[in-house]
Amino acid sequence: MHGPDVLRGLAALGVVMFHVLYLSGIPINETAAAITGRMDFFVRVFFVLSAFAIGHAYYSRMSSTEAIKVFYQKRFFRIAPLFYFMILTGVVFRLAMDQPMPPLLDFILSGSFLFTLAPGKQSGLVGGGWSIAIEWLFYFMFPLLLSSIRTVRSAAFAWVVLCLIATLSKRYLQDSFDGQLNEFASLNVLVHSQYFILGLLILHLSRAGMPTARNAMQRQAVGVAFLALLACTIYSLHAPFGLQEEVLLSIAAPLMVGLSIAGFPRWLDNKATRWLGLVSYSTYLVQFPLIQLLQMHGIYAEIGAHIGHGGLAFAAAALVTLACVVVTAAFTYYFVEVPGQRLYDKLRGGRLART
């Protein structure tokens, strides 16, 4: 099943283009904004994908305390090495630019992945790290969720409850906080927990026999349906027809994941797109310092000077950024992520050998 990996890679590229639009300094073009201006929704797709993938991998493997302990260890070594590497990169950058260091509390909160629980600290020390911290909180709750949500009906009920909580809590927090604290209303676990439940819902539907594409023609239809759903989602986020964003994305994100499970055609599912899925975590985290560096060194300004400030300038900036991000992501995947996972295997093997 490669479709979810492909979707993860495409989602990572979408998030990069979203950030190029708003962080590069190139004047925002109306057409570019219409296409990529709400591609931040792909982060919610990540959440659904993560819950489905982990649920699929561990559905029958959480029957003992030892199994749960191994799960936590493996997830830590999956996300922590790169995350800590990015924190270190930020420290080096601040030293090089003679910028002040954040307080010790910020390092403690980021190092423990608990910063999204603290209003005003929700952004952490790593760009985009808020979603990783929310993911870690899901990992923490995963054994309980997997043991208590074992049917389509229980997953659907949990989604209804959590979607209501997300909508009401976001509105309450937005009304209660001002300034940077207001950002906490959108970057906390309460307003995103329903997406993880939707991943478990898709898991139970797939185990119950969710239809899959059985031939090339059906896969072509799935690919067209995915593109149509993507276009409708982007359009609806700009003109949401009265639907709360939490409800809209609770429909779109699991449908995208479901289509990826059904089976993409070759023009979506191939070696290149599968590899992009492999390095998607690195792609997501390295984009922020790279966009900052490209801006500091005047690359985006040069693009604007030579091409102008229309959609073509954005396309050029996006292509340059994507190329830099993908190359860097390949480096951090093979030289940070993979060694981190091998370190776990080595430590785990040594411990088993002693016992």
How many H-runs (helices) and E-runs (strands) does the chain carry? 16, 0
Burial of 65 (0-12, 13-18, 19+ CB in 10 A): exposed
Asked whether the predicted pLDDT for residue 311 surpasses 90, the reply is no
- The pLDDT tens digits for 269-280 are 999 999 999 999
- The pLDDT tens digits for 1-42 are 799 999 999 999 999 999 999 998 888 888 888 889 899 999
In the 8-state DSSP scheme, what is residue 298? T
Query: Which two structure tokens, joined as six digits, stand for 98?
Result: 């003679």
* pLDDT at residue 355, rounded to an integer: 34
* pLDDT at residue 242, rounded to an integer: 66
* pLDDT at residue 305, rounded to an integer: 85
CB 136 within 8 A of CB 298: no
Query: Which two structure tokens, joined as six digits, stand for 108?
Result: 């403690």
Listed residue (144, 238, 140, 159) closest to 205, CA to CA: 159
* pLDDT at residue 101, rounded to an integer: 92
Which residue type is seen at 216? A
Query: Which two structure tokens, joined as six digits, stand for 64?
Result: 């003992």
Asked whether the predicted pLDDT for residue 197 surpasses 90, the reply is yes
User: What's the CA gap between 249 and 46, in Å, rounded?
Assistant: 12
> Which residues are within 8 A (CB) of 77 and not within 5 positions of it... i.e. 6 or more apart?
340, 341, 343, 344
The stretch 271-297 carries a mean pLDDT of 96
Share of the chain above pLDDT 90, in %: 68
Confidence of residue 351 (pLDDT cuts 50, 70, 90): low
User: What's the CA gap between 15 and 287, in Å, rounded?
Assistant: 9
User: What's the CA gap between 266 and 255, in Å, rounded?
Assistant: 20
* pLDDT at residue 61, rounded to an integer: 84
Asked whether the predicted pLDDT for residue 265 surpasses 50, the reply is yes
Model pTM score: 0.93
Mean pLDDT of the chain: 91
Question: Torsion angle of alpha carbons 280, 250, 143, 185, nearest 10°?
Answer: 80
* pLDDT at residue 307, rounded to an integer: 85
Asked whether the predicted pLDDT for residue 150 surpasses 70, the reply is yes
* pLDDT at residue 84, rounded to an integer: 97
Instruction: Among 17-26, 97-106, 172-181, 216-225, name the most confident range.
Output: 216-225
Asked whether the predicted pLDDT for residue 133 surpasses 80, the reply is yes
Listed residue (191, 206, 188) closest to 249, CA to CA: 191
Q: How many C-beta atoms lie closer than 10 Å to residue 278's C-beta?
A: 18
Asked whether the predicted pLDDT for residue 354 surpasses 50, the reply is no
- Helix 299-307 vs helix 280-296: crossing angle, to nearest 10: 70
Question: Torsion angle of alpha carbons 174, 51, 43, 140, nearest 10°?
Answer: 50
- The pLDDT tens digits for 199-253 are 999 999 999 888 898 999 999 999 999 999 999 999 998 876 667 788 899 999 9
Phi then psi dihedrals of residue 212, to 5 deg: -130, 160
User: What's the CA gap between 169 and 175, in Å, rounded?
Assistant: 10
Residue with the bigger pLDDT between 183 and 202: it is 202
Listed residue (318, 336, 338) closest to 16, CA to CA: 318
The stretch 163-172 carries a mean pLDDT of 87
